[in-house]
């Protein structure tokens, strides 16, 4: 089974202050990006990112879902960057972060390295799905770097159990990849992570489906020969350390999402002091894509508190 199948959605599961270090000299390389993007900035460790918006206030850093890359933030990017200093990254193995690691992959380490390289010492951190798990690991690894966490459909290292719906997805994706059927593997991801178990195909909207299909296929292609790459796990794991999080946490949950994500959200809210939960009954696993205007309003309110 491919590296991403094992790592992306957690298959191993059974007070805000001004930015410090923003003015450090960035380490930047610019080169042609994946199809559909003109120019991409890279840090010295090969992580692709965009940074736009007025400097001064604490930056907002966006970490994408496991079925996506930084393009998932396109619907909110123009409006958000008119108002705030915003960074979005491609995690290693996604989008334009195509450099194969020399050893184990540490997604949290890559994010921290990228932020240090571009001069962001502290930020509001927003993570979607797998990116939510990465965001929590960043906060646990380097607490001073994170002023607040917004976790939209928490996944990845925050998934505590393999529920029947998660197992059904994993079986479908794994079977498709085993027979070399990339179309079917992409479709499995769309069926489970775009529509989800409580909707029929197409109910999440064709634009969302088409974008996620492109991003998901790109990730499969980037990591096609990464079967031997291992992911470095946080020790002790994030699930055992939620009580250590001392910053404000907002958890957004879609009512049409998988049971495993519902359980993860409940656990994060229960185990993290002062965490708040917001439920959107009419969306699935990707609320930022299904209701971008509402997500932008929620984010604005959150970082203004």
Query: Lowest-pLDDT range, 9-23, 86-100, 210-224?
Result: 9-23
Provide the 3-class DSSP secondary structure of residue 162: coil
C-alpha closest to that of 221 among 185, 269, 174: 185
Dihedral of alpha carbons 235, 88, 155, 220, sign: negative
What CA–CA distance (Å, rounded) separates 262 from 122?
A: 29
Give tens-digit pLDDT for 245-271: 999 999 999 999 999 999 999 999 999
Pairing of strands 123-128, 249-254: unpaired
Give tens-digit pLDDT for 62-76: 999 999 999 999 999
> How far is Cα of residue 68 from the mean position of the Cα atoms in its chain?
8
SS (H, E, C) 199-234: CCCCCCCHHHHHHHHHHHHHHHHHCCCCCCCCECCC
pTM for the structure as a whole: 0.89
What CA–CA distance (Å, rounded) separates 251 from 277?
A: 5
Cβ-based neighbours of 301, under 8 Å, separated by 6 or more: none
Dihedral of alpha carbons 179, 181, 184, 189, sign: positive
Between 118 and 305, the more confident residue is: 118
Burial 68-82 (b: 16+ CB within 10 A, else e): bbbbbbebbbeebbe
Give tens-digit pLDDT for 186-229: 999 999 999 999 998 888 889 999 999 999 999 999 999 999 99
List the 86-89 sheet strands across, edge first.
Answer: 29-32, 39-42, 48-52, 86-89, 60-63, 123-128, 146-152, 249-254, 276-280
Q: Going from the N-terminus, what domains does the chain have, and what CATH number goes with each?
A: 3-161+226-304 (3.40.50.1820)
What CA–CA distance (Å, rounded) separates 131 from 152?
A: 9
Give tens-digit pLDDT for 163-186: 999 999 999 999 999 999 999 999
Which whole number is the average pLDDT over 89-117? 95
What CA–CA distance (Å, rounded) separates 219 from 5?
A: 11
């Amino acid at each position: 089974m491919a590296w991403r199948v094992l790592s992306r959605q957690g298959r191993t599961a059974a007070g805000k202050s001004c930015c410090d270090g923003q003015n450090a000299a960035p380490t930047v390389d610019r080169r042609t990006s994946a199809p559909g993007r003109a120019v991409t900035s890279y840090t010295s460790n090969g992580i692709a990112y965009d940074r736009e918006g007025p400097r001064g206030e604490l930056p907002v850093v966006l970490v994408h879902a496991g079925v996506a890359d930084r393009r998932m933030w396109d619907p909110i990017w123009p409006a958000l960057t008119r108002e705030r200093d915003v960074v979005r990254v491609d995690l290693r193995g996604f989008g334009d972060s195509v450099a194969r690691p020399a050893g184990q992959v540490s997604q949290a380490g890559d994010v921290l390295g990228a932020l240090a390289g571009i001069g962001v010492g502290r930020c509001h951190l927003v993570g979607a799905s797998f990116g939510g798990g990465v965001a929590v690991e960043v906060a646990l690894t380097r607490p001073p770097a994170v002023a607040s966490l917004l976790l939209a459909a928490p996944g990845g290292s925050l998934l505590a159990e393999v529920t029947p719906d998660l197992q059904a997805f994993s079986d479908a994706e794994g079977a498709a990849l085993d027979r070399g059927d990339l179309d079917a593997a992409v479709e499995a991801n769309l069926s489970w992570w775009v529509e989800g178990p409580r909707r029929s195909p197409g109910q999440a909207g064709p634009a969302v489906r088409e974008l996620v299909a492109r991003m998901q296929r790109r990730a499969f292609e980037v990591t096609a020969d990464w079967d031997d790459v291992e992911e470095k796990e946080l020790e002790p794991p994030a699930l055992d350390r939620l009580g250590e999080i001392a910053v404000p946490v907002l958890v957004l949950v879609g009512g049409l999402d998988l049971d495993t994500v519902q359980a993860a959200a409940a656990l994060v809210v229960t185990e993290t002091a002062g965490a708040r939960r917001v439920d959107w009954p009419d969306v699935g696993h990707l609320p930022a894509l299904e209701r971008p205007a509402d997500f932008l309003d929620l984010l604005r309110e959150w970082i203004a508190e």
